[in-house]
Structure 1
C-alpha cells in the first residue's frame, strides 16, 4: 500500500470538529434534514446519506418530523470529496513534509472546504499509479490522495439561531462517496455532540476490498 497513508491503512481516520450553543438535550425534539448545498437537494444519493444522519439523531433521542415545517430543529447537511492531489515519495523514505494525518504539514491541512462550513467539494479525481525511477534508489511511489468531508449545522426553528455546527474530514486514497460518507457520518456522531470547540480524531472500520484469485 501507499507509504504516506500507511498509518491509515488499518482504519478510516477522521478529524471531527464540533461547536454548540444551547443545543437542546434530546428529549423528543423533532428535526428535519435539509440540503445545505442546493446542488444536492432532491437527489437520490443525497437522500440515502441524509437517512444515515437522521438515523444517528434518532439514536441520540431526537424525533424525525414529517417535514421541515413540523420540525423544532433544521439540520443542514452536506458532503463531498475533492478532485484529489498527487503525492510522490521515494520508496522506503518517509517524506518529512507529509504526515498520515491532514496532508502536507506545511499547509493549512486538508483544504477544499471553501468559505464557511461545508460546500467546498466538487468533482472527482483519478487514481495514481506507482512508478519506478532509477535516480531514487529503487523507485518511488506516486498516488492520489482525496480529501472528503461532511458538514452538519443545526438551527432552532423558533428563533432561527444556530445551536450546533460541525464537520468531519478525512484524507484517503478512495474517492467513492458510497464508502466515504457512511464512515464520516459514523465518526461524526461518535460521542455526539462532544465538547464545543474540540477537535478529535476518530477511527472507524476500513474499506473492505475483494481479493481477486
Structure 2
C-alpha cells in the first residue's frame, strides 16, 4: 500500500473512533422519597435560578428530565399547578483546561526494493512501509461540568422538604454544555433515585 493510501486509512480509522464519544461521569444520589414514590405523583421541573430558568439550554434539559420522570411513573405538570414534588435543576461548565500531549505517529519511507519483470526487462521498484515513529505534540482541552438536581416535597414543612439530592460530575473533551448536559441527565437517571457510582454514557449527540 502506498504511503498516501495508508495515511488515508489511518485517518479514516481515527475519524470513525472519534464518532463514538463516551463521557465518564460520577453520580452521587441521596433519596428520602417514600416507597411507591411515583404512582402518579405530580412533579414540576424548574430552574434553580432565574438565569437558568430563562436559558434555552434549560428548555431542552427540562424536556429531557420530564421524559425521564414520566418513564418512572411521575406525572409532569407546570409549577403553577401546585405539584407534590418540585425538581430544581442547576448546572455549570468550566472554561476548559488545555494541556499539551505527545502522540506517536508512524514515519513512512522506503523499506526495500522488489524486482519487477516486464517485456523482458527487469527493474527495481521501491517498497514503502513504516521506517520508524515520531512524537507529535497535540493540544487537548478538557472541560469539567456538573449537574445538580434537588427534589422538594411540597407536602412537608420547609426545613424537611428536600427529599432528593442528585449530583453528576464529568470531565471530557466536549465543550458544548447542551450536549454534555444531555449525557449527564442520562447518567443521573440511570442511578435514580438512591444509587451512586460511575456511569459511562455513550453520547447520541454530536459535539461539533
* SS class of match (1:146): strand
1:65 is aligned to 77
Contact 2:87-2:151 at 8 Å conserved across structures: yes
2:176 counterpart of 1:176: yes
Query: Cα deviations across residues 51-73 of structure 1 (Å, max 9, x unaligned)?
Result: 11111011110111233451000
Any runs of at least 4 consecutive aligned residues in structure 1 with deviations exceeding 6 A, and if so which? none
Segments of 5+ residues of structure 2 without an aligned counterpart are: 1-16, 105-133
Contact 2:21-2:202 at 8 Å conserved across structures: no
Q: CA deviation at 1:165?
A: 0.6
* SS class of match (1:193): coil
Q: Distance in 1 between matches of 2:207 and 2:46?
A: 33
Q: Distance in 2 between matches of 1:29 and 1:209?
A: 35
1:31 equivalent among 43, 57, 67: 43
Q: Distance in 2 between matches of 1:45 and 1:209?
A: 14
Higher gyration radius (CA): 2
2:202 is aligned to 204
2:55 counterpart of 1:43: yes
2:116 is aligned to none
Q: Distance in 2 between matches of 1:80 and 1:10?
A: 20
1:157 equivalent among 143, 154, 158: 154
Q: Judging changes above 3 Å, is the alpha-carbon distance between structure 1 residues 66 and 206 closer, same or farther for their aligned structure 2 residues?
A: closer
More helix by share: 2
Q: Distance in 2 between matches of 1:169 and 1:12?
A: 10
1:192 is aligned to 192
Q: Alignment length, in residue pairs? A: 159
Segments of 5+ residues of structure 1 without an aligned counterpart are: 1-5, 93-136
TM-score (structure 1 length as normaliser): 0.65
TM-score (structure 2 length as normaliser): 0.66
Q: CA deviation at 1:203?
A: 2.4
Q: CA deviation at 1:43?
A: 2.8
